[in-house]
């Protein structure tokens, strides 16, 4: 058996049973970690911005950064750790890089990340046809919730001026 196959089998054994939600660097996440104090185990939330994802099979990790009492705190979580109870995605961030280490040098408003526009599936209204059967008007229509771009605004203004 080659070394590659041995690593693959170890990766499969150590994978997390329930996968984490999909998130990217720039997203605000809340990680619920199990903390053991003596005989007791409790859950502790660590909420911040994901500044890095490393995807290497069972060795995948993500780094979360937050500001606590004016001090930047970063914590690295292994994806497949049994000490992670759950991960909640609080907001989706719009960034152009996969490593957000530049946030370490920024403070205050400069360290904020813009939210990504959410695209959701909208259920089409049901219209009744002449023979009485109900049929959806248009299936799977997509609608932007937040953050129209400049091009979209210009198109809407031109359409309103031309109409």
Reading the chain (163 residues) residue by residue, the pLDDT tens digits are 788 888 778 777 777 777 888 999 999 999 999 999 999 999 999 999 999 999 987 788 999 999 999 999 999 999 888 899 999 999 999 999 999 999 999 988 898 898 887 655 555 555 655 565 555 555 555 555 555 567 777 777 778 777 6
pLDDT number for residue 120: 54
pLDDT at 56: 85
Q: What is the pTM of this model?
A: 0.66
Distance from C-alpha of 84 to C-alpha of 68, rounded to nearest angstrom: 21
Residues contacting residue 45 through CB under 8 Å, at least 6 positions apart: 30, 31, 32, 33
């Amino acid at each position: 058996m080659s070394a590659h196959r041995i690593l693959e089998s170890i990766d499969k054994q150590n994978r997390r049973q329930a996968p984490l939600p999909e998130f990217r660097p720039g997203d605000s996440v809340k990680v619920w970690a199990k903390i053991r104090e003596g005989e007791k185990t409790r859950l502790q939330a660590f909420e911040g911005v994901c500044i890095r994802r490393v995807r290497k099979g069972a060795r995948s990790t993500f780094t979360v950064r937050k500001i606590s009492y004016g001090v930047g705190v970063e914590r690295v979580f292994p994806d497949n750790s049994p000490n992670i109870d759950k991960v909640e995605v609080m907001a989706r961030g719009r960034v152009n890089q996969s490593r957000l280490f530049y946030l370490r040098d920024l403070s205050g408003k400069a360290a904020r990340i813009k939210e990504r526009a959410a695209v959701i599936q909208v259920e089409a209204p049901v219209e009744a046809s002449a023979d009485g059967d109900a049929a959806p008007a248009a299936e799977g229509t997509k609608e932007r919730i937040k953050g129209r771009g400049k091009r979209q605004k210009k198109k809407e203004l031109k359409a309103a001026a031309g109409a």
